[in-house]
Structure 1
Amino acid sequence: MGKAVPGLRTAFSRKPAPERRNLNATWCGEANVKAILIEKTADRPIASLGDVDESLLPEGDVLVDIACSTLNYKDALAITGKAPVIRNFPMVPGIDFAGTVAQSSNPRFRPGDRVILNGWGLGETRWGGLAERARVEGDWLVSLPEGMDLRQAAAIGTAGYTAMLCVLALERHGITPDKGEIVVSGAAGGVGSVAVALLAARGFSVVAVTGRASEADYLRALGASSVIDREVLTGKVRPLGRECWAAGIDVAGSHVLANMLSMTRYRGIVATCGLAAGMDLPGSVAPFILRGVTLAGIDSVMCPLPDRLEAWSRLASDLAPETLEAMIATCPLSGVIETAPLFLSGAVRGRIVVPIAP
């Protein structure tokens, strides 16, 4: 069992969200699947927990019994309705899951196979992982790596897999530990925590950026060499700042990314994968044309299968189980709706696993 994340204990102990029953044809068919379902109303999307008619699961060639899902920033946006993440209603949120194949007409998988799914529109255009079952396209699935269990795979989830894609981008650019420090923004979050741990395990000196000074000990325990306040990267952006680090991983966007680029050394690289601070980039071309800095965009949703397989293979070998365990908090499916707003207030550390199967 993972350690409790600050700010989550109270949310988990509250009375579960009431179950919605017999409200429309989506709920309570002959074969039921317990799930979070988000429905569109005149005012805003409304999320509730109930029994969904299994016959309404999307078409696909593989049916999966979900063992664990997770709660991510994008899921929180969808559940709270704070951003237009969902493209089709009603929607089961959950951008990833780990589970066991129940039925398959796909030649790659047989019943009993243990699998992972990240992205491919789950929780946005396709019913996602915060449910007991999911029907998906087998070509989207990745087999569980040797030596990893389903809970660990879920704990890594989209956030950890994205972090590994960022690390791979840095390595392909020729960044090695002797080149200098690597800066990681949003370091106490899901992507940031895994990125810090992965880089430290490879021998890199990691500068962890966080807006929560209370997380300094946690970040050093993951392997960060130093911890700096987020304000260092949120101020006015200079065309070129002082050269500080060889590379960076950014989850924030906006001023954070622009400052990170301006402070990256000659021929360095910044891998960017998030927009927690905004979608804008208020910088200049100076880092690119005067220092040869590279900005690498990381998309985990539609990432090709070979890259996914490489990332998961590396996660299985590079991320120590005890390090992963230190990042994990557990939230029951009944606590997901009340916990989601904590992401948007910056109160979540590491990864939140949502156990589905007993």
Structure 2
Amino acid sequence: MSDTDFRALLIEKNDLSEKSDGGQTVSVQQVDRARLPEGDVTVRVEASTVNYKDALAVTGTSPVVRSFPMVPGIDFAGVVEESSNPAWNPGDRVVLNGWGVGEKHWGGLAEYARVRGEWLVPLVPEFTAEQAMGIGTAGYTAMLCVLALEKHGVTPDDGEILVTGAAGGVGSVAIAVLHELGYHVVAVTGRESEADYLTGLGAERILPRADFAERGKPLAKEQWAGAVDVAGGQVLANVCAQMRYGGIVAACGLAAGMGLPATVAPFILRGVTLAGIDSVYRPAADRTEAWRRLGRDLDPAVLAPITGTVALDDVPALAAELLAGKVRGRVVVPLNS
């Protein structure tokens, strides 16, 4: 092993052919830094995390990875080691979410990453690298959803805010932030065992996912002033049908399906807004603002019950559990510790 080697989780096609359909191999390997992809900033990664998209990539369940070999990991936080980008200097603490990293460009589940400087944002001083990964793309997306509600003019006095997929990463952070801001949060989950966890985050009521799983009326009883939805599919259709007049749904996921078996009735007759929340290619200004607000509105102490840790070698097994719905909140992968 040379001084330039680093540990990385590497996904390879079994026959090394990108066109092969013969499956993939996932393993932790020693990789020479010369193999890092093009970029103008090299980061010593202190922590990464395992997201739903990472789990799809690692298990090969969905064709997330666009080229091989690939280091997965759509999030990382660390310290700039080398930079030819004028925006960044060695020693700067940074965080990255999305931008196709872990799909088209080597990602964060490795001790080093080389990326384009415009993909990075400053790591706010309120969080350590591991805490930032306890937030990760999920928490950053949750904050984008909260900002969408605020931009629409929804206030705590307007009524209850519904959060679907409440025990997952997006839902957990959304509940914690909304509660901190004074909103009245109702959580939707398919895991009754997580009731105490959700109320501890700030949910005032908990509803079973089954209440939203079957096809409902095009217009149901008006209940929610706003909503954060990670489910999509029939769940999202029912949420839209239950929105109060002028309400907004911030939609950021498709765990229940990509389809939307809804009618235009909520949007035309009640003036409901369906706001799509993209986190992958969000402009830098929005990213920076979301992280600034997380630093202000998310108590780091809240991250403890949300966050678990796993070693890099154990990521493949964890990925399968995550897809099976057995993982609560966020999972951090410490690196270079």
Task: Tell me the TM-score normalised to structure 1 length.
Answer: 0.91
Aligned-residue identity in percent: 60
Return the offset for 1:331: 0.4
Instruction: Map Cα deviations across residues 10-66 of structure 1 (whole Å, 9 max, x no partner).
Output: xxxxxxxxxxxxxxxxxx788322111111234222211111232111111100000
**Contact 1:29 1:54 (8 Å CA) reproduced:** no
Q: 2:11 aligns with which of 23, 38, 42?
A: 38
Alignment-derived partner of residue 117 in structure 1:
96
Alignment-derived partner of residue 39 in structure 2:
60
Match of 2:203, SS state, is coil
Which residue identity is paired with 1:115? V
CA distance in structure 2 between the partners assigned to 1:191 and 1:133 by the alignment: 26
Instruction: Map Cα deviations across residues 254-312 of structure 1 (whole Å, 9 max, x no partner).
Output: 00111100111111000011111111101111111111100000000000011001100
CA distance in structure 2 between the partners assigned to 1:354 and 1:341 by the alignment: 16
Q: 1:210 aligns with which of 186, 189, 194?
A: 189
Alignment-derived partner of residue 297 in structure 1:
276
Q: 1:275 aligns with which of 236, 254, 257?
A: 254
Match of 1:299, SS state, is coil
Instruction: Map Cα deviations across residues 169-213 of structure 1 (whole Å, 9 max, x no partner).
Output: 000000000000000000000000000000000011101000000
Instruction: Map Cα deviations across residues 115-153 of structure 1 (whole Å, 9 max, x no partner).
Output: 000000011111000000000011111111122221111
Which residue identity is paired with 1:217? D
Alignment-derived partner of residue 4 in structure 1:
none
Return the offset for 1:237: 3.0
Which residue identity is paired with 2:83? S
Alignment-derived partner of residue 181 in structure 1:
160
Inter-CA distance 136–227: structure 2 relative to 1 (3 Å threshold): same
Match of 2:170, SS state, is helix
Q: 1:154 aligns with which of 133, 144, 154?
A: 133
Alignment-derived partner of residue 322 in structure 2:
343
Q: Gaps (5+ residues) in structure 1?
A: 1-27
Which residue identity is paired with 2:55? A
**Contact 1:238 1:283 (8 Å CA) reproduced:** no
Alignment-derived partner of residue 244 in structure 1:
223
CA distance in structure 1 between the partners assigned to 2:95 and 2:39 by the alignment: 15
Instruction: Map Cα deviations across residues 228-247 of structure 1 (whole Å, 9 max, x no partner).
Output: 10011111132111111111
Task: Tell me the TM-score normalised to structure 2 length.
Answer: 0.96
CA distance in structure 1 between the partners assigned to 2:110 and 2:169 by the alignment: 21
CA distance in structure 2 between the partners assigned to 1:124 and 1:241 by the alignment: 40
Alignment-derived partner of residue 18 in structure 2:
none
Matched, 1:199 2:178: yes
CA distance in structure 2 between the partners assigned to 1:176 and 1:250 by the alignment: 18
Q: 1:319 aligns with which of 281, 295, 298?
A: 298
CA distance in structure 2 between the partners assigned to 1:104 and 1:140 by the alignment: 13
**Contact 1:237 1:283 (8 Å CA) reproduced:** no
Alignment-derived partner of residue 134 in structure 1:
113
Q: 2:50 aligns with which of 46, 67, 71?
A: 71
CA distance in structure 2 between the partners assigned to 1:278 and 1:87 by the alignment: 22
Match of 1:225, SS state, is strand
Q: Give runs of aligned pairs for residues 99-114 of structure 1, distance below 5 A.
A: 99-114=78-93
Return the offset for 1:250: 0.5
Which residue identity is paired with 1:328? T
Alignment-derived partner of residue 288 in structure 1:
267
How many aligned positions are there?
331
CA distance in structure 2 between the partners assigned to 1:88 and 1:270 by the alignment: 34
